[in-house]
Amino acid sequence: MPAGLMASAPAAGSTLIPPEADLARMRHQRVERIRDAMHAQGLDALVLLGNTNVVYATGVVWPLADSGRAAFEQPVAVVLADDAWPHLFSSMSVADPERSDLPPDHLHGPVFLDFDQGVARFTAHLAELVPAGAAVGIDEWTNALRRDRSLLFGAGDPADGGRVISRAKLVKTPDELACMREGLRITESAIAEVQTGVAPGVRQTELTATFLRCIFEAGADANVLDPIWQVMPPRLADGPWTTTGDLACPLLSTERVLVEGDVLWVDTGISAGGFHSDFGRTWIVGRGPDARQRAQFERWQAIMAAVLDVTRAGSTAADLTAAAVDAAGGVKPWMPHFYLGHGLGIDSAEMPYVGSDIGEAFDAGLVLTEGMVLVLEPVVWDDGAAGYRSEEVLVVTDDGWEPMTDYPYDPF
Amino acid sequence: MPRTEVQPDERSLRRARRERVLAAMAAEGVDVLVMGREANARYVSGAPRLWTAGSRAFGPGCVLVRESGAVHLLSTWDEGVPEEIPHENLYGISFNAANFLDALQRVEGAASVRTVATDGLTPSAAQLLARSFPSADLVDGEPLLRRVRAVKTPEEVEAVRASVRLAEHALSEAVAALGPGVTARRLTGVFLEAMAAAGVTTPASQDVAWVPSRVHPGRRGGRDEPLESGDLVAFGAGVIASGYAGEVGRTKRIGEGEADEAERALRRDQDALWGRLLGACRPGATATGLLDAYDAVGLAPPPVPVARGLGLGFDLPLVTHALPELAAEQRLEEGMVLALTAFVWKEGRGAVYGQEPVLVTPSGPELLSTDPFQEARSQA
C-alpha cells in the first residue's frame, strides 16, 4: 500500500507550518490584512454577514448550522478602518465574552437583519461607529437592509465588501496553516475509523454516522458537508444525465447498501478552529483493486506527480493545468463543473481556483505565491471500469510545496 | 422503509407549495422569483440538493416564472430533480458569472419582465440580475415567500412531525449516554451518529448539547469540560429530514440522584411558563402574548428567541424580546408551526431549557412531540 502525500514530498527542509498556532497573533494579523485591503479599496467600514467571513474577521467560532437555520440569528461583524478590533453583533452562545478576546464594548446583541426592526437596531449602532457619508462595504445583504437608506444604501448599492475578505484570506499565515493542519488531522482520524467499517452490507448513511461521531470526538466544531460516499457506475452512460455530458458527482448519500466491488468516491469536510477541511479518496468495497483499477491509480499518480512537479511560487494555474493535461494524454483530467484544484481555508472551496470554467485566460494570469493552500483533485475515468479520484492538500512554497495531509491510498 | 435512492419531494407536496407561491406572485405582480436560500429553492422545486453548513451568500439557485409556472434550477445533474423540470431548465455549477447570465437570459421573457423578486443579494449578484432582466425592477421576494411558507399544509405538518420523531429518537440515544465524566462534545457526537444511523444525515443545528452557566443566563460551559453528578445539560436536538426541520429542546441532570430544591424550583417555574406560552398560542393573537408569558410568571426574558417558525428553513414567526415591535406586528395563524422556548435561569443553579414544536389550531396548540412534559416531571 503506498503511503500518502508525504512520501512524494520534496526533501524535508524548512517548514512553513509551525507545530502550534498563536491564535491571538493570527486574529490580529487577519484584521490588519482586512484593514489594508479596506484602505486599498477606500473603505471606512466593512459590514460582514456571511458566516465564514464573520469567523475570519472576528476569530469567533461556533458550530455552523443548517443554512436555513443559520439565517435566524445570523452574526454580523463590522470592521472599522481605524480600529484594531472588529465589532460583533451576535448572541452569547456564539460570542461568549469569556472565550472571545474581543473587548467587551465590541460585543453587541443579535440584530436580525432579515427584519426592518432588526435593521433599525443595527443601523442605530452603526451610526455611532461610522460617521455619515463614510464609505461602507458589505459582503451580502438582506432585502430589509436594502430598504434602509441611512448608511449603507444612501447613494446606491454599497461597495463589494466580500472582495476585501477574498483578498485578505488568499495567502495563509503560518498560524493559519497550523490551524488548518489540525482540522485536516481531525478529518483523517475520523475517516480512518470510517474506512475500517466499509464492507458489503453496510449502508452509506452508516458511514456518515460513524464519521459524525468521530469528528466531534476528535475535536471538530461542526460538519460542513453531508458526506459523500458515491458508488460510481462502471460506465458514464449508467449515471445520471448532466448539463456537461460528463460525470455526475457529488451525488447525495442515502441508505443504499454497499456491495462487494462497489467503487466509492469519498468526499467530506469539517470545520475546526474556524477552518474547513477537505478529504477525497477512492475506496473499493470488500476487495482490493484488480489490474485495471491499479492501472487507473497509477495514471492518477502520474498526473498528480506531474502537477506537483510544476507547483511552486511563481507558477501560474495554467502551468498546473497544462502539466495535468499533458500527463493525461491530452485530455483534461478533472470534472468540467469543478476544477483541477481549488483553495481551502475558512471556506470549503475558495480562491485560487485552478482549471475552473472562469477560463484559461484567468488561469494564465493566476500566479501562485508562498502560503497559498491548494486542494488538487485530478480524476481518471476509465469508461467500463469507473475510475479513480483522490484529493491532496498542500501549501505552496517558494521552492515547491509542502504536504498538509498524509492519508494512505489504501486499498490501492 | 430505508430510503436508498435520491427522490424529489412528493408530487402532491411540491405541487401544493409551488401553486401557493405562484398565487402569491400573481397577487403581488411579481413576474419572476429568483431564490438563493436553499429552503426557498426546495419549497418551490421539490429537489433535494447537497447540504452544507452555514449561511450562504445569495446566488441564483432557483428561478420560478409566474406566467408559465416553469422552474429553472441550479443542478448539474437530474438525479432527484422532479419530472416537471426539464433538462433544458437545469443549469450547472459554475464559477463564472457569464454562465449564470446565460442561464438567466434563457428564462422565458427575461428581456421584457417588469418585476423580479429575490430573497437576498450580493453586490455581484445585483449586477448579474440587472443584466439578466434589463427591463425589470428588483424587489423584495422574502415577505411573499415567508407568508406562504409560514402556514403549513397538512402534508407539511406530517413532514415536520416525522422530523421531530427522528430528533427525539436521536436525542434518546444521547440521553442514554449521560453520566458523570461525559462532555457536551461527546453527547453531540452521539446525537449526530444516532440521527445518521436512522437514515438522516443532515442536522438542523450542530449546537446539540451544552452546559448552562450558573453565573450568567446566556453563557455556557466549554464543550470539553467533563460533567459532574447533578450538573444540568441542555439539548437542542434538531434534524432536517426531507427538507423540514424537526427540533426539540430538553434539559437533563447528570447522575442518578434526586433533583435538589433549586432544580425543582426551576422546573416548577418552567411548568408555569409552559402553561402561559401554550395559552398564548391562539390563532388571531399577536405574538406579543408569547413575550408577555415570561413577565406573567415573573421570569426574565430568555437569551434566545421565544418562538421561531418551524418548517423549511427561515420561517415566520420570529418572536424575540430583542424586537418587541416585530412581535406586535406578527399574528399567529392556524397552520403555523412554532418552535416554542421555555427558558428559566437562576443564579447558582443554571438553566432549564425546553423547546417544543407546536401546531397552531383553532382548538388550541397541538404538540408535535411525544409528551415532553411527562419527561419533565420524571426529572423533577
pLDDT tens figures, B80-120: 999 999 999 999 999 999 999 999 999 999 999 999 999 99
What are the cell numbers at A106?
A: 465590541
Instruction: List the single best residue of B34, B55, B119, B169 to mutate versus A (max A Cβ within 10 A).
Output: B55
Say what the ipTM of the complex is. 0.96
In degrees, rounded to 5, the angle at the alpha carbon of residue B303 between the alpha carbons of residues B302 and B307 is 65
How many residues does the structure list for chain B?
A: 380
The pLDDT, as a whole number, for residue A2 is: 56
Instruction: Over range B306-322, report the average pLDDT.
Output: 93
Average pLDDT score, chain B? 95
**Strand, coil or helix: A23:** helix
On whether both B139 and B157 belong to a single domain, the answer is no
Chain-chain contact of A226 with B51 (C-beta, under 8 angstroms): yes
Cβ contacts (< 8 Å) between A359 and chain B: which residues? 96
Peptide bond just before B317 cis, omega within 30 deg: yes
The pLDDT, as a whole number, for residue A164 is: 94
On whether both B295 and B203 belong to a single domain, the answer is yes
The answer to whether A121 faces chain B, any CB pair under 8 Å, is yes
- Tell me the per-residue pLDDT of B105-115, one tens digit each, with 9 for 90 and over: 999 999 999 99
**Strand, coil or helix: A144:** helix
Whether the domain at A23-169 and the domain at A171-403 fall into the same CATH topology: no
Q: Which residues contact B132 (CB under 8 A, 6 or more apart)?
A: B100, B101, B104, B105, B107, B110
**Strand, coil or helix: B353:** strand
The pLDDT, as a whole number, for residue B380 is: 47
Cβ contacts (< 8 Å) between A50 and chain B: which residues? 55, 57
Burial label for A392, CB within 10 Å (0-12, 13-18, 19+), is: buried
Chain-chain contact of B204 with A214 (C-beta, under 8 angstroms): no
In degrees, rounded to 5, the angle at the alpha carbon of residue B267 between the alpha carbons of residues B261 and B268 is 85
CATH number of the domain that residue B321 is part of = 3.90.230.10
Cβ contacts (< 8 Å) between A147 and chain B: which residues? 140
On whether both B67 and B190 belong to a single domain, the answer is no
Cβ contacts (< 8 Å) between A138 and chain B: which residues? 123
Instruction: Over range A354-366, report the average pLDDT.
Output: 97
Range in A277-291, B186-200, B309-323 with the lowest mean pLDDT:
B309-323
Cβ contacts (< 8 Å) between A221 and chain B: which residues? 206
On whether both B126 and B155 belong to a single domain, the answer is no
Confidence tier at A92 by pLDDT (50, 70, 90): confident
The pLDDT, as a whole number, for residue B198 is: 97
Decide: B271 and B376 in contact? Cβ < 8 Å: yes
* Residue A97: closest C-alpha in chain B: B219
Is A132 a residue whose pLDDT tops 90? Answer: no
On whether both B265 and B160 belong to a single domain, the answer is yes
Domain A171-403 CATH superfamily:
Creatinase/methionine aminopeptidase superfamily (3.90.230.10)
CATH number of the domain that residue B35 is part of = 3.40.350.10
Chain-chain contact of B318 with A112 (C-beta, under 8 angstroms): yes
Is B11 a residue whose pLDDT tops 90? Answer: yes
Please indicate, yes or no, if residue B3 is contained in any of the structural domains.
Answer: no
Residues A208, A209, A213, A214: is their CA dihedral positive or negative?
negative
Instruction: List the single best residue of A116, A212, A224, A241 to mutate versus B (max B Cβ within 10 A).
Output: A212
Phi/psi of residue A371, nearest 5 degrees: 100, -10
On whether both B118 and B266 belong to a single domain, the answer is no
What are the cell numbers at B68?
A: 408559465
Chain-chain contact of B122 with A69 (C-beta, under 8 angstroms): no
The answer to whether A367 faces chain B, any CB pair under 8 Å, is no
CA of B357 to nearest chain A CA: how many angstroms apart? 15
d(CA B77, CA A243): 6
Residue after which a domain boundary falls, among B109, B128, B149: B149
On whether both B282 and B161 belong to a single domain, the answer is yes
Size of interface A-B (CB pairs under 8 A): 269
Q: Which residues contact B214 (CB under 8 A, 6 or more apart)?
A: B347, B348, B349, B350
* Residue B245: closest C-alpha in chain A: A69
**Residue % of chain A over a pLDDT of 70:** 97
The pLDDT, as a whole number, for residue A29 is: 96
Is B373 a residue whose pLDDT tops 80? Answer: no
> Across the interface, which of B87, B120, B186 has its CB nearest the CB of A142?
B120
Is B205 a residue whose pLDDT tops 80? Answer: yes
Decide: B175 and B379 in contact? Cβ < 8 Å: no
Chain-chain contact of B92 with A208 (C-beta, under 8 angstroms): no
Please give the single-letter amino acid code of residue A342.
H
Decide: A254 and A372 in contact? Cβ < 8 Å: no
CA of A401 to nearest chain B CA: how many angstroms apart? 25
Phi-psi category of A385—alpha, beta or left, where left has phi over 0 and alpha has psi -120 to 50? Answer: alpha
d(CA A171, CA A86): 21
Range in A146-150, B261-265, B295-299 with the lowest mean pLDDT:
A146-150
Chain-chain contact of A93 with B240 (C-beta, under 8 angstroms): no
**CATH code for the structural domain at A23-169:** 3.40.350.10
How many structural domains comprise chain B?
Answer: 2
Is B266 a residue whose pLDDT tops 50? Answer: yes
On whether both B193 and B106 belong to a single domain, the answer is no
Confidence tier at A147 by pLDDT (50, 70, 90): confident
Residues 146-175 of chain A whose Cβ lies under 8 A from any Cβ of chain B? 146-147, 157-162
d(CA B195, CA B202): 8
**Strand, coil or helix: B253:** strand
Report strand pairing: B209-210 vs B244-253. unpaired
> Across the interface, which of B190, B202, B318 has its CB nearest the CB of A213?
B190
> What domain range includes position B34?
11-149
Confidence tier at B371 by pLDDT (50, 70, 90): low
> Across the interface, which of A144, A240, A250 has its CB nearest the CB of B50?
A250
d(CA A238, CA A257): 18
Is A310 a residue whose pLDDT tops 80? Answer: yes
The pLDDT, as a whole number, for residue A158 is: 85
The pLDDT, as a whole number, for residue A1 is: 47
Chain-chain contact of B206 with A222 (C-beta, under 8 angstroms): yes
Question: Measured between alpha carbons, how far is residue B335 from residues B158, B278, B288, B361 in Å?
Answer: 12, 15, 18, 6
Is A11 a residue whose pLDDT tops 60? Answer: no
Decide: B73 and B41 in contact? Cβ < 8 Å: yes
Question: Measured between alpha carbons, how far is residue A336 from residues A242, A329, A357 in Å?
Answer: 11, 17, 7
Confidence tier at A72 by pLDDT (50, 70, 90): confident
On whether both B280 and B245 belong to a single domain, the answer is yes
Confidence tier at B372 by pLDDT (50, 70, 90): low
Question: Measured between alpha carbons, how far is residue A95 from residues A84, A102, B41, B135 in Å?
Answer: 18, 9, 31, 44
- Tell me the per-residue pLDDT of A367-381, one tens digit each, with 9 for 90 and over: 999 999 999 999 999
The pLDDT, as a whole number, for residue A93 is: 81
Q: What DSSP character marks residue A7?
A: G
Q: Which of B95, B120, B97, B128 is nearest to B39 (CA)?
A: B120
What are the cell numbers at A79?
A: 470592521
Q: Which of A74, A67, A114, A64 is nearest to B146 (CA)?
A: A114
On whether both B143 and B191 belong to a single domain, the answer is no
